Chain A
Amino acid sequence: MSEKVTALIIDDEVQIRRLLRVVLETDGYRVLEADTGEQGLSDIALRRPDVVLLDLGLPKVDGLTALRRLREWSRVPVLVLTVKAGAEEKVAALDAGADDYVTKPFDSPELLARLRAIQRRSSTEKDEPYFQAGHLAVDFSSHTITVNKQEVKLTATEYALLKVLAQHAGKVVTHKQLLREVWGPNAEEQSQYLRVYVNHLRKKIEAPNAKERLLRTEPGIGYRLVLPTGGKP
């Protein structure tokens, strides 16, 4: 990357902002800060950051509201920061257009990996014909899937599922989103389909004795196709 990626941190805690700045700058980002949702929105409009870190617990205009307003006019990747462990708030944020989330207190490597994954979105939209994650390789042009260089047969539904997950590799994909993209808009409530197919897919694409698991469940939220460290598409 010749030009630095700009990240905007929207958080009311000055300590968090300062330390996130250090973490991000060490990783090569140019960092902007905003301490309220309104300030954050105007910064996004004026200074066009490449990625946004948004705290959900902002005073006055809360993070979720700011996110909804932002999504009316911008598609900038947003990583949501939250202190709540439960799934509801995260699902609400993802439904409102967040690209992923991390729970405070977070580990910096995890945060940086998520940030990378949500920026990758725009590149996968260019219809990359190949996808690789660890021992799994997918050739979308010929519909071939190999695990440890051995070809694996997937049903049409399993393939569709894998395709959606691979397009969002590294990012969480909500149950709703998967059901909608694989089974169509009327299937959003049919979650048992999804559980069964994911279970099948997992058995087919994960090497039996591999320590690393590719398809991770985010309980109550969705699934994440994990990119093993260094595995870039």
Chain B
Amino acid sequence: MADGAQPSPEARPDKSREDTRRDRPVERLNGASFIHQVALAGVLVVLVTVASLLLEPFTGYLSIALLYLLLIVAAALKLGRAPVLILAAISALVWNFLFIPPHFTFYIDRLEDAMMFATFFVVAMAMGHLASRLRSSEMAERRRERRTAALYELAHQAAFATDLETGLGAAVSLIASVSGAQAALLLRRKDHTLSELAHPASSFTLSEREKTAALWAFDHPSQADGFIGARGDSSARCLPLQGRTAVMGVLCVRRAPGKSLDRGETELLEAFAVLIGLILEKDHVVEAVKRAEVLEASERLRRALLDSVSHELKTPLSAVQAGIDALGRQLGGDEEKRATLREVQSAVRRLRRVIDNLLTMTRIEAGVIQPKLDWCDVAELVQAAIDLAGDGVAEHEIAVEADHDLPMVRLDQALIEQCLYNLLLNAASWSRPGTTITVRAALDGDRLTLAILDEGPGVKETDLRRIFEKFYRASDAPPGGTGLGLAIVDNFVRSHGGSARAANRETGGAEFTLTIPVETMRAEALEELA
């Protein structure tokens, strides 16, 4: 058992055996005090008998019966039912033997004495019975009261404790004070498995055997409500701490040596377990809410920072752009000045691209960018990307090779457009003006493939694997560019669950392929919609 992770059948609390186990200690408890109580009853009978022998010459033997009745009523308030009944029987017999004439025999001479004796016997028995019933209901009442008080105490101390540690500590000491038992707590870890280390508030260290039982209780909360290891001294009870939605841990209770838990205490512990489970769950929820709030606050801050940085970078850039445009109109035909202005314009364009890429990369890393899928026309998407590239690819021939009847696909058009745009500019910067850049679009099942092919020098083998890394620039890269363009492509495509790949064409030149899983909608679907 101690060496196995899986509890052996003996340790598993099966229902039928468990019931007998639960009852047996209760009997033993009564048996111990039973002898004690009968002995006490005997002593009382002797005392009353001695007193009666002294009184009898003055009162007569009939009044003695009343003394015995008094004794039985008094005893019934203190003793159990069986001792009282035994006491009643003994009293009747002693009265008969010592006081009813003829003395020192059980024989009764006169009819009225026989009637007296019979009445006395019945009354004594009935009194004993009634008194003990009264007492037992009073005791049950007291137990209930103690239980309610204990639960209230736990609720008050543990649930309203400033932190969980104090709360659990209070719960453990409360268990000790109401049942005299030691308690250990194993809590659920963040990954929803049971911790092997007992919570610091625990008042004993669990044995391997108990840990295994605790784990079993954690995994089978609906069945685990029993003793484990009744044989031997390892007799901790493992109760799952069942919250409203999940089991938050296990409460193990080890009874004090020589003392066992009665039914009331067991029920009380079960109620405790439920309450502790709820407290833990509440704590868990409070923590989660706090974490979410902190996360949200930092997210807001990051967004605000991004917005303000982007505003600060783009506003002067807008001013510069507007200035270039205005100057262009004012210059008229001065070709020399126009050439200078064109240089400024191309520098500004380059700056714009760098800023855009940096901001986009920052947004990606801040997790602000989530693809918003919508139906889009692939041909239109490709054309829009080419338009967007505009002057950047003006010196190249652009060839589009797309299937004629491509269906509508669901993706984030803005993001994929940006990917194609980056790839087009990348292709244009690597290949000589006048060469052809080919854009291919095809659909294979539910995978959309977009490819950009150029006639440049291709990608070196050593760069192929790293080309999509952030800030990575090929050793022979043309000037300009930050090594972000392809990293952004890779990110956007991956955010769609797709992949980006670089390869070299057999005819020379590089080939970038984006493969994106998409939902598709054929034009025929239109009829169904309408």
Contact = CB atoms under 8 A, between A and B. Distances in A.
Interface of A: 13, 15-16, 19-20, 22-23, 26, 57, 83-85, 87, 104-109, 157, 191-193, 195-200, 202, 213, 216-217, 219-220
Contacts of B526: 196-197, 200
Interface string B325-337: 1100110000000
B103 to A, nearest CB: 108
A217 B321 contact: no
A23 B387 CA distance: 24
Contact of A213 (B310, B315, B323, B387): B387
21 contacts: A16-B318, A26-B330, A104-B317, A105-B320, A105-B321, A106-B322, A107-B321, A108-B321, A109-B325, A191-B374, A192-B529, A195-B374, A196-B529, A199-B377, A199-B408, A202-B377, A213-B383, A213-B387, A217-B376, A217-B380, A220-B412
B377 A104 contact: no
Interface string B512-530: 0000000001010110011
A23 B329 CA distance: 9
A220 B414 contact: yes
B352 interface: yes
Given A16-B322, A105-B352, A220-B374, A199 B314 contact: no
A15 B375 contact: no
A196 B408 contact: yes
Interface of A, helix, strand, loop or mixed by DSSP = helix
Contacts of A16: 315, 318-319, 322
Contacts of A105: 314, 317-318, 320-321, 352
A64 B530 CA distance: 37
A219 B413 CA distance: 6
A20 B320 CA distance: 11
Contacts of B377: 195, 198-199, 202, 217
Contacts of A191: 374-375
A195 B317 contact: no
A216 B352 CA distance: 23
B401 to A, nearest CB: 15
Nearest to B328: A108
Given A23-B322, A104-B318, A191-B374, 9 more contacts: A19-B322, A26-B326, A84-B310, A192-B521, A196-B529, A202-B380, A213-B383, A217-B380, A219-B417
A202 B384 CA distance: 14
B440 to A, nearest CB: 19
A16 B322 CA distance: 8
B310 A19 contact: no
A20 to B, nearest CB: 6
B313 to A, nearest CB: 9
B404 to A, nearest CB: 10
Contacts of B417: 219
Nearest to B413: A219
Nearest to B326: A22
Interface residues of B, number: 40
B316, B325, B377: residue with the most chain A Cβ atoms closer than 10 Å: B325
A15 B319 contact: yes
A26 B328 CA distance: 11
Interface string B380-396: 11011001000000000
| 8 A-B pairs with least C-beta separation | A108-B325, A195-B375, A19-B322, A219-B414, A219-B413, A105-B318, A104-B318, A22-B326
B296 interface: no
Contacts of A15: 315-316, 319
Contact of B325 (A104, A107, A216): A107
A106 B352 CA distance: 11
Contacts of A200: 523, 526
Contacts of A107: 321, 325
A23 B325 contact: yes
Contacts of B525: 196
A220 B418 CA distance: 14
Contacts of B138: none
Interface in B389-432: 408, 412-414, 417
Contacts of B24: none
Contacts of A104: 314-315, 317-318
B267 interface: no
B311 interface: yes
A87 B315 contact: no
A85 B369 CA distance: 11
Nearest to B383: A213
Contacts of A216: 384
A194 B163 CA distance: 56
Interface in B409-459: 412-414, 417
A216 B386 CA distance: 13
B322 to A, nearest CB: 4
B307 interface: yes
B282 interface: no
B318 A84 contact: no
B310 A83 contact: yes
A57 B311 CA distance: 8
B326 A83 contact: no
A53 B290 CA distance: 43
B444 to A, nearest CB: 21
B372 interface: yes
A20, A83, A195, A198: residue with the most chain B Cβ atoms closer than 10 Å: A83
Nearest to B317: A105
A198 B526 CA distance: 11
Contacts of B321: 105-108
Interface in B104-146: none
B412 A219 contact: yes
Given A84-B307, A87-B414, A200-B523, A195 B325 contact: no
A188 B413 CA distance: 20
